[in-house]
Amino acid sequence: MDRLQLPKLNFWLAFIFIISLLPVLLMNFSELKSFSSSLLSLHTIFLSILIEALPFVLIGILIAGFIQIFITEEHIERWIPKNTLLAVVMSCFVGALFPACECGIVPIVRRLIAKGVPIHAAIGFMLTGPLINPIVILSTYMAFGNNLKIASLRMLIGFVIAIVVALLVSLFFKGSQFKNSVALQPVAKDDKQTSFITKLINTCKHAVDEFFDVGKYLIIGAFLAAFVQTYVSTKALVEIGDGVSSSILVMMGLAFILSLCSEADAFIGASFSSLFSTHSILAFLIFGPMIDLKNTIMLISVFRLKFVLWLVAFVAIVVYVSLFILSPYL
């Protein structure tokens, strides 16, 4: 799988490296000092994002390994309804019950699709998983002054948006949408006599392979998010967002580049709550857990670039349009 994507990786690394070197050449001593201090800040934020995400990613890859070893294509075929709408609603519902974070869920979704889950159902699951779960509900409730309104609107609108996006995906995309290099091959069935312990050990072995597939993208994503946080001013972005439409766009952009964990983003969202109106705060709270910089990088590692771009566009457009329409009522 490495052959196709690594030239791109090389390119981006070189690009980032050169960009971050450029200012150094133009600096005097005091600027150099503040630059090195900002690099240390960058590193601290980078590592903290990573440390925060790793437990969830590890749990994600273990679940992915578990799916690989214990669940067969026949199970999937039996469980997922043939009807597209039913399949989407069901998968969104399962995602809502399933506590996950937006980076930990990528390996799970990849494994599900490999096992034959249709792409629309897998995407529905991926969108609601990080957005709707008890921890997120509680933290949103607390962040907005123990007010249920934002928390319930976040879940409700988010759920509907996830269904719409998954249906859009079902209209335009078929098949696994994996990159060519991640081409699917039929997975051989487990021997009936394989013992449970062996199966567990194989689950872990799969998890290890999955970690080395996904880990580098998580690390690059965390680095980019930290880079943006250190060098791009939120203030400048916030100053753009005045009207209804531009404020929604600004908050969605903010959610994308900050790449916050869905359990922590409510407090950041709340800190903008008098600067922006409810609908743009909701845009921040709904868009962020579905799509952000960190998990887009991870999606690119699994899916075709074209598919990822369309998916991001679908989510962005649906979130934007629905909150724009709802804005007079919120």
Partner 1 sequence: MKFHIQQAVRAVILLAFSAMIANLHWTGELTKYINPKYDNLSKTAAILFFMLFLVQLTRVVSKTTQHCHHHGQACCSQHDHGQSPFTRKKMLSYFIVITPIITGFFVPAKILDAAIADKKGASFILAQQSQNSKIEDYLTSNETIDENIYDEHEPDPRLMEEKQEMTKKQYDRLKQQLSQQTMLKMTDEDYTIYYEEINHNLANYLGKQIQLKGFVLKEEDFSQNQLVISRFLITHCVADASIVGFLSEFVEAPTLKEDTWIEIVGTIGQTTYDGTILPVIQIDNWVTIEQPESPYLYPINIRMSF
Please, which residue, 38 or 246, has the CB nearer to partner 1?
Answer: 38
* Shortest Å distance, C-beta 27 to partner 1: 15
Q: What is the DSSP string of 15-72?
A: HHHHHHHHHHHT--HHHHHHHHHHHHHHHHHHHHHHHHHHHHHHHHHHHHHHHHHH--
Distance in Å, CB of 28 to partner 1, minimum: 17
DSSP code of residue 263:
T
Q: Are 156 and 123 in contact (CB under 8 A)?
A: no
C-beta of 144 vs 314, nearer to partner 1: 144
CB of 45 to partner 1, least distance (A): 5
DSSP 303: B
Tokens of residue 182, six digits: 């991640």
Q: Which is nearer to partner 1, 159 or 227 (CB)?
A: 227
Determine the Cα angle at 237 with ends 231 and 241, to 5°: 175
- Nearer Cβ to partner 1 (78/235): 235
The three-state DSSP-derived secondary structure of 173-224 is CCCCCECHHHCCCCCCCCCCCCCHHHHHHHHHHHHHHHHHHHHHHHHHHHHH
Q: Which is nearer to partner 1, 160 or 264 (CB)?
A: 264
Tell me the closest approach of the beta carbon of residue 84 to partner 1, in angstroms. 25
Which is nearer to partner 1, 125 or 211 (by Cβ)?
Answer: 211
207 to each of 6, 27, 278, how far by Cα in Å? 22, 46, 41
Tell me how far, at minimum, the Cβ of 103 lies from partner 1, in Å. 13
| Residue closer to partner 1 (CB basis): 164 or 281 | 281
Closest distance between partner 1 and the C-beta of residue 310, in Å?
22
* Burial 98-115, CB ≥16 within 10 A → b, else e: bbbbbbbbbbbbbbbbbb
Q: In angstroms, what is the minimal distance from the CB of 235 to partner 1? A: 3
Q: Is 266 exposed, middle or buried (0-12, 13-18, 19+ CB in 10 A)?
A: buried
